[in-house]
Amino acid sequence: MISDVIFFFGIAWIAGLLGVLVVRVARARTTGQRILALDLLTLILVGLLALAAGEDRAPYALDAALGIALLSFVATLAASRYYESRRPFT
Partner 1 sequence: MTEVIEDILILAGLVVLTLAVYGVVRMPDVYTQTHAASKAAFLGITLLLASAAMSGDGGIITRALLIVMLLAVTTPVAAHSIARAARRRGERMRTPDAVDETQA
CA distances from 64 to 14, 20, 34, 68, 70 (A): 17, 23, 24, 6, 10
Say which residues have a Cβ less than 8 Å from residue 26's Cβ, sequence separation at least 6: none
Sign of the four-CA dihedral 48, 50, 56, 61:
positive
* Binding residues among 43-82 for partner 1 as defined by CB under 8 A: 43-44, 46-47, 50-51, 53-54, 57-59, 62-63, 65-66, 69-70, 72-73, 76-77, 80-81
Binding stretches for partner 1 (CB under 8 A): 1-3, 6-7, 10, 13-14, 17, 20-21, 24, 30-33, 35-37, 39-40, 43-44, 46-47, 50-51, 53-54, 57-59, 62-63, 65-66, 69-70, 72-73, 76-77, 80-81, 83-85
